[in-house]
Structure 1
């Protein structure tokens, strides 16, 4: 049996009682923290709570050569991830691989950033379109710095359909955790290059350390928010489309957005 367990948003205490019980009953515990991680905890604290060794997997171990899956053929194995267990496509693929090997699977969900965004900002969950991820820039073989324009295109498409965009920020073992500031700088560079008005005068929302006792939620115009200090990671960015009056009021009262965004809205 292979049980996928979402650990929640911030630290070891976010896990569900059902998830904790499953870990304590497991023969082997595996985890990956490259798609997301618990910034308020570490492996030592997880192992202390579980009373089990946690085998941390690399991206290659999960996506290319998941040989460890064979352990679940005759053992009770759990696989841990930050947030909810099936938000990442990588985890869906892993579940399908297990099925192909004749391994039964089970899901134990955890709190997800997808729902936390709505709770913290007041934006309505049914108004979100396709999400995107901003990767760190890289240097091409010609020595040119390359900035991905895919997130810009996703925001543009969602805005055309009047839908909000969740923008995940890159986690890189060498370049570290991308901040909202870096993400906005990259989007604004694409705006300067293409001039399509996607980020011009755009209201954006930056969220840091969701799930902690002191999350930070700040809303404002992109050119202004890029200079705001949201503190330690993890960060996530939201680019809303047009705002319902309640959403706009929530951004003003809960996230410090300028009251000018309320002008012209129907209540």
Structure 2
């Protein structure tokens, strides 16, 4: 034993240090245990809070997605409905346009028909007036003939046209002075067969369009036995290259050529090959 062991002041600090160390160790252990327990308790207590906070977040996201999907569906439905309305309106407009077009065509055809009828009546009236003037003139000049007439002209009939023949004569005489145009069918320009066809159409007689066919359209008659309204032709029957209308007194009217146009001339001016009688 140390020689100082009996001294209290030397032993008391050693005991105090051990006691303090032991107490510190115990306290540290207790504090560690408490810390671990506290940390564990904090961890265990925090876990439900974390789960409770996440659930509303997921639920809100899902609700937002559902709402967005509903908006898209509603917009699509509205778009389909708008397109359907547009398609229906377009179909209705097309149907109405088609009906309007059909009505317009029908109206145009009717107006054209009325115009043609009016033109025909006007031509018939004009022909009738011309025929009356021609009759009065022929009555005043009975027996007269062209001073340059040949045997063909002097041997033809000078009888005055009546009825439809008079209307045909009046029609062609009213066109004298009009222009000659190949293929012309009037009302102010003609070719030879177009003039003849129009003259007979004015009295309701349909003739073929070309001179070859018109030269065989009626009964063949001799040039010495002509009557007003007979069709004259130049060339062979069935192969004629020119036609005109005999108007009496050795005269005819025809659309001759582009230089002379429609003229009234003596048979001696251009002797025909033959004639046919339609009326």
Same fold by TM-score greater than 0.5:
no
Higher-strand-fraction structure? 1
Q: TM-score, normalised by structure 2?
A: 0.22
**Higher helix proportion:** 2
Larger CA Rg, structure 1 vs 2: 2
Q: Whose relative contact order is higher, 1 or 2, with alpha carbons under 8 Å and at least 6 apart?
A: 1
